[in-house]
């Protein structure tokens, strides 16, 4: 039997063959993209045929992107405020969410997939809002659909594959793409690019499917860069084994974004996630997600506390070396070097992760179950900062 090549598979996808069957409304939205004679009323009439989509689209536009001015109450108003093409793409994206099932099918956890995609969309939107290098609704959609090829690939190849089950965990992304390529000769970003082109998504969003990879940062558009950074930030929320401090450092190196900005972006996403989740029919427990993220921060802080005495050491106790009782300049220099080394090793992760914890705490309601746990972590952060301050004074 002939085994299809990578290019043959992509050609099929580009022509629409093997893509999932969209709803009637979604299919018509694609047709409108090719019809130069289509009007605002045509778009509004088409979306209006799906009352649920209409309500969710208006809610999404009001909540996420256009808070200034009076809220829109009709599709026509939404079209004029958002723009024809942008609103069409937003409506198509909401329709895609309902094209696929929910729950779990073998190795594919659809609920988790859309939850990750929602956070990624909000993070991309927050990045765009912060840096002002695109438009927020386009960034939201680009983040939402960037991994859509994984769902299509599951239907095409994975669900009927009788071999050992392949892990579909999106984090780390590089590992997943490599596994797909080795097993099927194609990865889900390539599948996603072909699908989005067929569905007439804007080129700027399609280009975000290009895999980042080391050394390719300079070739990325601002939108694609925001999506890649949003993916890294979402891994902080969902990747269980991640080291937050290492991720802060990597984002700083790749994108020159400091830890305060990272904290602000993540907090902004948490502030909006529950409001936007309803528009996508995705169940989100913000407090649970926050606590899991705080637990990762706590692991970093626990490692730092092992390197610092949290209470002043007595003369007889073990701890960091002291200048007291040292006579020679050589001994004093050795102690100073040790203190400087410890302070340097502690300062950056404590500043980034400690500040992150304090920012995240502002997004949690004091009446929720995890509030006390969060306060314990904040108190631990304060103790570490005080211990670092003592070291710094000794060095001086």
Indicate the DSSP class of residue 104: E
Between 212 and 22, the more confident residue is: 22
Distance CA 369, CA 147 (A): 33
Q: What's the confidence (pLDDT) of residue 355?
A: 83
pLDDT at position 11, please?
85
Segment 36-46, tens digit of pLDDT: 888 888 888 88
Place of tokens 């070739």: 219
In the predicted model, is pLDDT for residue 317 greater than 50?
A: no
DSSP tag of 188: H
What pLDDT shows up at residue 316?
A: 40
User: What per-residue confidence (pLDDT) applies to 66?
Assistant: 59
Our measurement of the distance from residue 5's CA atom to the centroid of its chain's CA atoms, rounded to an integer in Å, reads 32
For 137-192, what is each residue's pLDDT tens digit?
A: 889 999 999 999 999 999 988 888 888 788 899 999 999 999 999 999 999 999 99
- Which is more confident, 324 or 115? 115
* pLDDT (mean) for 246-256: 89
What are the distances in angstroms from CA 202 to CA 112, 208, 318, 359? 26, 10, 63, 35
Share of the chain above pLDDT 90, in %: 29
- Residue 369: CB atoms within 10 A of its CB come to 11
pLDDT tens-digit map of 213-232: 655 666 778 899 999 999 99
**Residue 133 reports pLDDT greater than 80:** no
Strands 104-105 and 108-109: antiparallel
Of residues 21 and 237, which shows the higher confidence score? 237
Structure pTM?
0.86
Whether residue 34 is predicted with pLDDT greater than 60 in this model: the reply is yes
pLDDT at 280: 86
Distance in Å from the first CA to the final CA of the chain: 76
Residue 323 confidence class, pLDDT cut points 50, 70, 90: very low
If one compares 72 and 46, the residue with the highest pLDDT of the two is 46
- pLDDT (mean) for 74-86: 81
Q: Please tell me the predicted confidence (pLDDT) of residue 195.
A: 94
Q: Measure Cα distances from 91 to 78, 124, 171, 353, 395 in Å.
A: 11, 18, 28, 38, 60
Q: What pLDDT, on the 0 to 100 scale, is given for residue 381?
A: 81
Its sign, for the CA torsion 160, 165, 171, 176, is: negative
Q: Tell me the average pLDDT across 126-133.
A: 86
Residues 28/69, Cβ–Cβ less than 8 Å: no
pLDDT higher at 348 or 341: 348
Q: What is the pLDDT of residues 198-211, one digit of tens each?
A: 999 999 999 999 87
Q: Single out the residue of 128, 124, 360, 118 nearest to residue 259, CA to CA.
A: 360
Verify cis geometry, omega within 30 degrees of 0, for the bond prior to 172.
Answer: yes
Query: What's the confidence (pLDDT) of residue 328?
Result: 54
pLDDT score, position 67: 58
Any alpha helices (H) in the chain, and if so which ranges? 6-14, 24-34, 40-48, 51-60, 75-82, 84-99, 110-131, 136-145, 149-153, 173-184, 188-198, 203-206, 222-238, 244-255, 259-280, 286-305, 329-361, 371-395
**In the prediction, which pLDDT does 326 show?**
43
Q: What is the pLDDT of residue 393?
A: 61
Q: What is the pLDDT of residues 375-388, one digit of tens each?
A: 888 888 888 777 77
Mean pLDDT of the chain, nearest integer: 82
CA dist 249 and 347 (Å) reads 13
**According to the model, what pLDDT value does residue 33 have?**
81
φ, ψ of residue 211 to 5 degrees: the values are -70, 135
Angle 233-236-242 from CA coordinates, rounded to 5°: 135
What is the per-residue pLDDT for 314? 44
């Amino acid at each position: 039997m002939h085994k299809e090549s990578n290019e043959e598979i992509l050609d099929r996808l580009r022509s629409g063959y093997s893509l999932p069957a969209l709803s009637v409304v979604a299919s018509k939205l694609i047709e409108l993209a090719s019809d130069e004679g289509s009007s605002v009323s045509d778009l509004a009439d088409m979306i209006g045929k799906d009352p649920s989509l209409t309500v969710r689209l208006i809610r999404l536009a009001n909540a996420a992107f256009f808070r200034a001015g009076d809220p829109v109450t009709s599709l026509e108003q939404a079209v004029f405020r958002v723009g024809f093409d942008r609103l069409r793409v937003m409506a198509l994206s909401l329709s895609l969410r309902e094209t696929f099932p929910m729950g779990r099918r073998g190795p594919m956890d659809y609920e988790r997939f859309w939850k990750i995609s929602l956070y990624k969309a909000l993070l991309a939107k927050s990045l765009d809002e912060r840096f002002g290098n695109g438009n927020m609704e386009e960034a939201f959609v680009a983040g939402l659909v960037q991994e859509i090829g994984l769902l299509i690939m599951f239907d095409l190849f994975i669900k009927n594959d009788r071999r050992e089950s392949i892990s579909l965990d999106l984090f780390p992304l590089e590992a997943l793409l490599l596994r797909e390529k080795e097993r099927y000769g194609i990865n889900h970003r390539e599948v996603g690019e072909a699908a989005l082109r067929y569905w007439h998504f804007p080129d700027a969003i399609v280009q975000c499917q290009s895999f980042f990879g080391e050394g390719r940062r300079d070739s990325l558009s601002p939108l694609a860069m925001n999506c890649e950074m949003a993916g890294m930030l979402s891994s902080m929320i969902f990747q269980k084994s991640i080291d937050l401090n290492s991720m802060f450092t990597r984002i700083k190196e790749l994108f020159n974004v400091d830890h305060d900005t990272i904290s602000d972006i993540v907090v902004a996403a948490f502030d909006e996630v529950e409001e936007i989740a309803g528009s996508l029919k995705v169940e989100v427990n913000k407090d649970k997600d926050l606590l899991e993220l705080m637990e990762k921060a706590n692991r970093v802080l626990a490692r730092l506390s092992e390197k610092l005495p949290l209470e002043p050491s007595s003369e007889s106790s073990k701890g960091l070396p002291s200048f007291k009782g040292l006579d020679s300049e050589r001994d004093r220099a050795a102690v100073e070097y040790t203190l400087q080394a410890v302070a340097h090793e502690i300062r950056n992760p404590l500043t980034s992760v400690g500040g992150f914890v304090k920012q995240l705490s502002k997004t949690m309601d004091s009446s929720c179950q995890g509030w006390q746990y969060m306060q314990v972590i904040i108190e631990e952060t304060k103790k570490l900062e005080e211990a670092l301050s003592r070291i710094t004074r000794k060095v001086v």
